[in-house]
Amino acid sequence: LYIGGGFPEILGNNLSKNQIMKKSIKKLSEDNFPIYAECGGLMYLTKSITNNNKKYKMVGLFDAETVMTKKMRLNYTKGKLSNKNILSNTLHAFRGHEFHYSQLESVPSDSKFAFSLEIGEGIINQQDGLIQNNTLASYGHLYFDSSNYAEIFVKNCLNESRR
């Protein structure tokens, strides 16, 4: 499952009401189904999104809360994979970008991150890509041009479909 970027805060009310979808996605992750989420997808997988003093419950896969801010974060990103994940089984360099008006709060100190950034902010302390089960969710949008991330993700999905 790929959950792309976007602006989930705009549809916060509708997303929070879709209990079937939220439960389905959480169950897929708990069953180790491969899930890759970028930016808006990351926000959707947290416990909630707060926008204009309204709090909307989201999937709750990651034990953190998304809060919309006035500050725009727009950066190229560059870093190294710090933990194996559904996109890579080797720890090597990557490039991408991040663009968002939100931040994650109450991120548990024992959270596992996929990426260590040299350039960019990430989720916290230049760490990005929360990992749980077979799910990877990051603020960063990775560039797939010179990597085999897409191939590895598709192989993981195919392996899961045969299980």
CATH of the domain at 117: 3.40.50.880
Q: What percent of the chain has pLDDT over 70?
A: 98
Per the rule left: phi > 0, alpha: psi between -120 and 50, beta: everything else, 21 is alpha
Q: Which residue range forms the structural domain that includes residue 132? A: 2-162
- Kindly tell me if the per-residue pLDDT of 129 is higher than 90: yes
pLDDT of 73: 92
Whether 46 has a pLDDT exceeding 80, the answer reads yes
The mean pLDDT of 117-122, rounded to a whole number, is 95
14 DSSP assignment: H
Residues labelled catalytic: 39
Q: What's the domain count of the chain?
A: 1
Strand, coil or helix: 118: strand
Distance separating alpha carbons of residues 7 and 63, to the nearest angstrom: 20
Q: Is-contact 94 81, C-beta < 8 A?
A: yes
pLDDT (average), residues 68-75: 93
Element (H, E) at 12: helix 12-17
* pTM, entire model: 0.92
Quickly count: other Cβ atoms within 10 Å of residue 24's Cβ. Answer: 13
Over 70: is that where the pLDDT of 91 sits?
no
pLDDT at 158: 84
101 neighbors 121 (Cβ within 8 angstroms): no
**CA atoms of 43 and 6, how far apart (whole Å):** 10
